[in-house]
Amino acid sequence: MSTGVDIIEPIADTRTARQVARDTRKHEAMARKRLTSRGATIAALIIAIFWTIPTFGLFVTSFRPGADVQSTGWWTIFTNPSFTLDNYEQALNSGGTALTLGESFLNSLAITIPVVFFALAVASLLAYAFAWIDFKGRNIAFVAVFALQIVPLQMALVPLLSLFSRGLTIGDVTIFPGFDLRDMTHSFATVWIAHTIFALPLAVFLLHNFISEIPSEVIEAARVDGAGHGQIFFRMILPLAAPALASFAVLEFIWVWNDLLVATIFAPSSSLPLTQSLNSLSGTWGNKWFLQAAGTFISIIVPLLVFFGLQRFFVRGLLAGATKG
Amino acid sequence: MGKTRGRRYLAPIALAGVFGLVLTGCAEGGSDTPGASGSAGGTVRISGGITGSEADLLQQSFDGFTKDTGIEVVYTGDKGFEGNIVTKVTGGDAPDLAIVPQPGLLKTLIGTGDVVKAPSAVDKAVDENWSPDWKAYGTVDGTFYAAPMLANVKGYVWYSPAKFKEWGVEVPKTWDDLLTLTKTIQEKSGAAPWCAGFESGNASGWPGTDWIEDLVLRQSGTGVYDDWVAGKVKFTDQPIADAFTAAGKILLNPSYVNAGFGDVKSINSTAFADVAAKVADGTCALTHQASFLSSNFLDVKTADGKAPTVAPDGDVYAFVLPGMQEGESQVEAGGEFVAAFNDNEATQKVQEFMTSADFANARVKLGGVISANKKADPSNASSEFLTDAMKLLQDEKTTVRFDASDLMPATVGSGSFWKGMVDWIDGKDQATVLSDIQAGYNN
Amino acid sequence: MTDTHTAPPRQRSAKSAKQPAAQAAPQSRTNALIAVVAAILVVALFLFLILQQPRETKPTSIGFSLNSFFRWLGNQNQLVQIPIVLVVFGAVVGILLLLIEYAPRPGKLYFWIRLVACFALPVLAFMLLRPYQNALLYVLGIAVVLGGAMFLLDYRSREGAGYHFQLVLFAAPAAILLLVGLVYPAIATFVQSFFDKTGKDFVGMDNYVWVFTQPEGTWSVINTLIWVLIAPAFATVIGLAYAVFIDRAAGEKFLKVLIFMPFAISFVGAGIIWKFVYDYRQGDQLGILNAIVTLFGGEPVSWLAVTPLVNSLLLMVVFIWSQTGLAMVILSAAIKAVPPEQNEAAELDGANAWQRFRNVTVPGIRSAIVVVITTVAIGALKIYDIVAVMTGGRANTSVLAFEMVNQQQRFQSYGHSAALAVVLFLFVTPLIVFNVIQIRKQREIR
C-alpha cells in the first residue's frame, strides 16, 4: 500500500488486540535485522551505567553510619567497608506517636490509587469529547485545556484551600459552606480533588493524542450497529486505549506518590503521606543525609513495583495506535 | 450489545443497591461524631517546624498533660513550615496552635487576622515566668498574642578544650583577647583557626546574621540594638558598619578562615551544621554557632574515631562570645512562640500548660533543649553545657536580646539580610551590601 | 476524523440541503433568544441572592451531601476507603455513561429521561453542596433555569436532541474541576499582578517592570528560557538514541528500568543524590565530581556556585537525568509500533541504518516525539524542587517558578510573584503554537 517511504497512509486494521500482539511477536521473532548493531548496545550499556552511578551512590550511603557519611565519600566503602542497617531501622521506626511510617505508607496508598482512577476517568471523558464529538469552539477549548498545564500549582493552593475550608460566600450569603473534615480519622477528600484537578490538563493532552488516532472506521462500524457515544466510549475506546491509560496511570502514580506540597497543604495531619514522614526524618537543625538516603529507597519501592506491574502496557505504549498516522 | 433483557437491568439495580448502602452510612447528622481520633476532652492540633527526633520528644512532653486532662495533643512537624503556614492560614485551614520560630513571621500571621489574642491565664503566666522582653516579642500593636515556648542561646564559640591545653591558651575574656587568641592559634598550628558555614538551602546566610547581631549588641549596646530592630538605626549607619568591619576581621581574612573547608568563599557552600565534624576532629579550632550545635556532635567522630565528649575538659565545649569589656555578659537568644487560631476551651488549656513550669521541666528533661521559663529547673537539662546555657538565660545579670533578624520584618530579616551576608562573603563591597540590605525594607 | 451524530443519520440530499440553511437563520435567532432570557434570569436570581439581608441560617441538605459522605468515609480505615470511593465514583460515572448512551435516542421515553435529567442533575449537584437556607431558593431557581435552558437549547438544536446533552455530560466533570481549580486561580493571579504587595493599590505595570529590571527577575527569565530550550532537547535526543540502541537487544527490559528509575525518585530525593555528586569541600571529598578532579590533581570546585550558567547547566543535568526515562519509555513504545514491513522495504531498497532511522522510524513516531518534547518542556518551565533543594536560587540559578514562590513566601510580595507567574504563562505560548501546528499536520496526513 505504501507509495514511498515518506508518505505513510493509514492502514485499515480490523484485527483484535490479541491478534495484533501475536503478529507483533511473530514479526519480532522473524526479523533478524535489528535497528542497531552490537556497538550501539555497548553505547547503551555505557549510558545506563552513567545513569545509575548517582543512584547507586545514594544506595551505598544509606547503609553507611552517619558519621562516615559526613566525612568520606561513598566509594570508600570498597576499601573501608562499614556497613549498618541503623539508618533503615531509624527511618522505619520514625514518627513516634503522631504519625508512624506505616500509617503514612497506608495514607500514601489511599491518596494515590483513587487519584489515578479519578484523573483517568474524568480526563478520558473529556479527551473523547475533544476527539470524536465535533462542536463549535472545540479547538479553542482544547488549546485552553492544554495551556492550563502551565498554571503553577503554588498559585492555585490558596484559592482551592479557601474553597474547601471556608466555602463560597458572597456578601452575606453562603452558597457552599465548605467541608468540615478535620476531625475524621483519615480524610483524603480534599487531597483527592486537588490532585485530580492538577493532573487533568496533562492527562487530557496525552489521552487525546492517543484517542484521536484510533481509526474512525472502527467507530463508524460501531455506530452503524446502533451504538451511541456511551457504548462506544465504554466498550470500544476504553479497551483500545488501555495502553495509553495504563501508561498514564504509571506516570500519575509516580507523580502523586512523590508529591509533598499538595498533601502538606490539603491533608489533615492524620492523613499525611509517606513523603511527609520521610521529609521530617532529619531533625530541625541540619540535614541527616544518611537517614534521608534510607528514606528515599524505602519510598521508591512501590512506584517501581507499579512500573514493573504495568510495564507490558508500555510496550504498546502511549502512542502506538492500531495503525500508523 | 446483544444482552438479554434481564441483564440490561442488572447494572442499574446494582448501582441503586450500592447507593442505598452508602447513603444509609453517610446520612447527614448520623456521622457527626468525630470518630476514633477524637477523645473525651477533645483534640488539639499543633503545627510547627520542629521535625525528627525533636518532634518525637515534643510529642512525648504532652503525655502527662493528656493523662491529667484527657485532652489529646497532636503535634505535626513540617520542614517547610515557615512557607506553608501562611498558605494554610490564608486558605482558612489553620491548625489550633502554631509554634512560630520568628516574631517576624508571627507578625505576618497576626496580619492575616486569624490569630486570637492570648487568654488571660496565659497572659498572667507569661508575666510571672518570663522577663518582660519575652512577652514583648509575642505582642503586636499592644495586644499580647503568643507565649514563648523553648529557647536557644546564640553567640557561642565552640572549641576543643583538649586542643587549647595543647596550645596553652585560655578562653578569652574580651573581644580583643579573642582576636589575639585567633592569631596565636594561627601561628601555633599553621592553619586557619576559624570555620564557618552559612549554607542552609533557602535560608542561607542566617549564621552570618548571628555574627553581626552579636557584635552590634556588644559593641554598641542594647539601646542601639533595640533601635536597629525597630528600624530607627539603619544598616547603613555607623554602628552596623562597625559590626561588619569587626566580623570581617575574622570572616573575610583568608588566613583565619575557613578551616577544613577552603577559602573565604567556601563559607557560603558549607552547610551550617557541617562545622561540627571539623571541630570534633580537630581541623577547626573555633566556630561561632548557637547552643543547638551540641546535638550535632552526636553524629560526628573525633580524630581518634570516637564520639566526642561535650564537657569543659572534654573534646568539645563552648564559651560565650566575649564582650568588649571584661565582666560583661550579653547573649543573643532565639526561641519559638505559640500562637492560637481559635479560643476553644481545649486549645486554651493547652496554651496554659505550655506556659507552665511543668511543661518546661518535662520537655527539658527529655533532652536537647533549654527553656527561658524562670520557674524551670536548669538541672533537668540533658548535659552540663545545656544546664549552663539555661542558667545563663535565667540569670538577671545577663543581658538577653532576641535574635534581631527574627524580629525584623520578613523581607529584611529572612530576606535581604540573609542574602546580604551571602553577598558579603562572596566579596561584594561592604557599603553596597549594607545599602542592599537596607533596601529590603522597601520591598 | 468524521463527525459523529447521535440522531439516526439524516439523509442529506441536494434537495433538503437548502431547507436547513433557510431554516437555520430564524432557528438560531430563537436559540439565541432562549439563551439570553436564561442568562438574564440567572443574573437576576443571582443578584437577588447576594443582595439579601443577613440572617441566622444553617445549611440545608437532602439528607446527605458531599460533606457527610466524606465525613463518613473519613472515619473508615484507609485501605477500606479505596474500594469504597472507587465503587461510588464508578457508579456515578456509570450513571453518566448510561445517560449519555440512552438519552439521545428518539422517542417519548427518552424525551422524558432527558427532561428529568436536565432538571435533576443541576438541582442534585447544588444540593450536594449544602447551600444555606437563605440561599436555597435562589440556588434552586438558578439550577432550574439553567437546566431548563439546557434542555430547550438541546431540544431545538440542529444536530438533533441529545447532541449537546451528551457533550455537556462528557465535559462537565472535567470542566467544573478545571474552572474551579485552575481557571479561577489563573485569572486571580493575572489580576493580582497589577496590584501591589498588599493587594489593595493598583500599580499597573510596575510589577512587570520589576521583573525585567531586578537581577532576581531578569535572571529567572533568562534561566527559564535556557531550561526550556536545553532540557527537552537533550532528554528527547538521549531518550530516542537509547530507545533505538536497546530496541530488541538482550536484556532490554532491564536496561529500560535502569534509565527509568530516576523518574520514579522524587525531585527532593534526586536533589540529595546529586548533592553527593556536586559536593564541594576541602580534604576528603564527598562528591564524585570533585573526587575525580582531585584524583587528577586538581583543586576542588564549588560546582553549584560557578557562574555564569555553569551551575544552572548542572541543575539541568539533574532534570535531564530524571526525565530521560520518561522520554525513552514513550519513544521506545512508539518505535515498536512502527510496522517492520516498512523497515524491511527500506532495507531492500538499500538504505543503511541511519537512513532507515531518519526516513522510516522518525516520521513514524513523529507524534510521540512531539508529545515528549512538549511534556518535558512544560516540566522544565515549572521546575521548582530541584532549584529549591540544591541551590535555593542562589548564584543566579533562580527560575521563574522558584522566584515566584520565593517572592510569595519569603517576601510576601504577592504582586511580584503574580507578575512572575504571568510571565511564565506567556512562556507556554510557543509550545501551544508548536502543538497546534503538529495537530494540523497530523490531520492533513489522515
Report CA B73 to chain centroid distance, whole Å.
Answer: 22
pTM > 0.90: no
Nearest to A115 by CA among A227, A225, A230, A273: A273
Is the pLDDT at B125 greater than 50, yes or no?
yes
Whether residue C393 lies within 8 A of chain B, CB to CB, comes out as yes
3-state SS of C412-436 is CCHHHHHHHHHHHHHHCHHHHHHHH
Alpha carbon distance B415, B405 (integer Å) = 9
Residue of C nearest to B36 (CA): C75
Neighbouring subunits of A (3+ Cβ pairs under 8 A): B, C
| CB–CB contact B261 C282 (8 Å) | yes
Q: Which residues pair with B289 in a beta bridge?
A: B156
Question: N- to C-terminal Cα distance for chain C?
Answer: 8
Handedness of CA B422, B424, B425, B428 (dihedral sign): positive
| CB–CB contact A184 B55 (8 Å) | no
Tell me the three cell numbers of residue B253: 581574612
Neighbouring subunits of C (3+ Cβ pairs under 8 A): A, B
Whether residue C236 lies within 8 A of chain B, CB to CB, comes out as no
Chain A residues with beta carbon closer than 8 angstroms to that of B306: none
Q: Coil, strand, or helix at residue A269?
A: helix
Segment-wise mean pLDDT, segments of 10 residues, chain C, 446 residues: 40 43 65 84 82 72 82 89 93 90 82 86 85 80 85 78 85 93 93 84 87 87 93 94 84 86 88 87 81 87 83 93 91 82 82 79 85 92 88 83 86 87 91 85 68
Q: Which residues pair with B318 in a beta bridge?
A: B158
Whether residue C340 lies within 8 A of chain A, CB to CB, comes out as yes
Q: What is the model's pLDDT at position A281?
A: 78
H or E element, residue C263: helix C252-264
| CB–CB contact A33 C70 (8 Å) | no
Handedness of CA C375, C378, C382, C384 (dihedral sign): positive
Is the pLDDT at B3 greater than 60, yes or no?
no
* Residue-range domains of chain A with CATH: 92-324 (1.10.3720.10)
Whether residue B19 lies within 8 A of chain C, CB to CB, comes out as yes
Mean pLDDT value of segment A98-116:
90
Q: What is the model's pLDDT at position A308?
A: 84
CATH superfamily, region C207-445: MetI-like (1.10.3720.10)
Tell me the three cell numbers of residue A151: 498554571
Whether residue A6 lies within 8 A of chain C, CB to CB, comes out as yes
Q: What is the model's pLDDT at position C232?
A: 95
| CB–CB contact A152 C424 (8 Å) | yes
Phi, psi of B156 (to 5 degrees): -90, 150
Does residue B342 contact residue B351 with C-beta atoms inside 8 Å?
no
Nearest to A154 by CA among C354, B133, B11, C188: C188
Interface with chain A: mutation pick from C193, C268, C413, highest number of A CBs within 10 Å: C268
Alpha carbon distance C375, A319 (integer Å) = 14
Nearest to B381 by CA among B320, B291, B308: B291
Q: What is the model's pLDDT at position B398?
A: 83
* Partner residue opposite C357 with nearest CB, options A35, A159, A180: A35
Alpha carbon distance B137, B150 (integer Å) = 13
Is the pLDDT at B29 greater than 60, yes or no?
no
Q: What is the model's pLDDT at position A161?
A: 93
Domain ranges in chain C are 14-192, 207-445
Residue of A nearest to C434 (CA): A143
Chain B residues with beta carbon closer than 8 angstroms to that of C411: 410-411, 415, 443
Tell me the three cell numbers of residue B286: 573555633
**Which residues numbered 246-285 in A keep a CB inside 8 Å of some CB on C?**
247, 251, 254, 258-260, 275, 279
Residue of C nearest to B205 (CA): C394
Tell me the three cell numbers of residue B436: 542592599
Is the pLDDT at B16 greater than 70, yes or no?
no
Mean pLDDT value of segment B382-401:
85
H or E element, residue C14: helix C14-50
| CB–CB contact A285 B56 (8 Å) | no
Which of the pair, A75 or B209, is modelled with greater confidence?
Answer: B209
The least confident of A23-27, A115-119, B51-55, B237-241 is A23-27
Q: What is the model's pLDDT at position C319?
A: 95
Q: What is the model's pLDDT at position B28?
A: 55
Q: Which positions ≥6 away from C323 have C-beta within 8 Å? A: C231, C235, C263, C376, C379
Whether residue B37 lies within 8 A of chain A, CB to CB, comes out as yes
Q: Cα separations (Å) of A204 from C93, C159, C369? A: 17, 25, 17
Alpha carbon distance B344, A256 (integer Å) = 35
Q: Which positions ≥6 away from B440 have C-beta within 8 Å? A: B411, B412, B415, B416, B417
Whether residue A56 lies within 8 A of chain C, CB to CB, comes out as no
Whether residue B260 lies within 8 A of chain C, CB to CB, comes out as yes
Q: What is the model's pLDDT at position B22?
A: 64
Residue of B nearest to A166 (CA): B92
**Which residues numbered 238-257 in C keep a CB inside 8 Å of some CB on A?**
238, 241-242, 244-250, 253, 255-257
Burial A257-281 (b: 16+ CB within 10 A, else e): bbbbbbbbbbbbbbbbbbbbbbbbb
Q: How confident is the model at residue B115 (pLDDT cuts 50, 70, 90)?
A: very high
Whether residue B91 lies within 8 A of chain C, CB to CB, comes out as no
Q: What is the model's pLDDT at position A249?
A: 92
Chain C residues with beta carbon closer than 8 angstroms to that of B15: 91, 94-95
Mean pLDDT for all residues in chain B? 85
| CB–CB contact B15 C305 (8 Å) | no
Does residue C26 contact residue A240 with C-beta atoms inside 8 Å?
no
Q: What is the model's pLDDT at position C399?
A: 92
Q: Cα separations (Å) of B33 from A180, A181, A183, B148, C72? A: 12, 11, 9, 34, 10
Does residue C181 contact residue A162 with C-beta atoms inside 8 Å?
no
Whether residue B113 lies within 8 A of chain C, CB to CB, comes out as no
Instruction: Look up cell 488539639; give the residue.
Output: B44
Whether residue C65 lies within 8 A of chain B, CB to CB, comes out as yes
Whether residue C197 lies within 8 A of chain A, CB to CB, comes out as no
Does residue C394 contact residue A125 with C-beta atoms inside 8 Å?
no
Mean pLDDT for all residues in chain A? 82
Q: A9: which DSSP letter?
A: P
Q: Which positions ≥6 away from C75 have C-beta within 8 Å? A: A184, A185, B31, B35, B36
Whether residue B83 lies within 8 A of chain C, CB to CB, comes out as yes
| CB–CB contact B265 C305 (8 Å) | yes
Residue of A nearest to B86 (CA): A158
| Total CB pairs under 8 A between chain B and C | 101
Chain B residues with beta carbon closer than 8 angstroms to that of A97: 56, 59-60
Q: What is the model's pLDDT at position A98?
A: 67
The least confident of A163-172, B145-154, C4-13, C183-192 is C4-13
Cα distance from B413 to chain C (closest Cα, Å)? 10
Is the pLDDT at A324 greater than 60, yes or no?
no
* Partner residue opposite C72 with nearest CB, options B11, B26, B443: B26
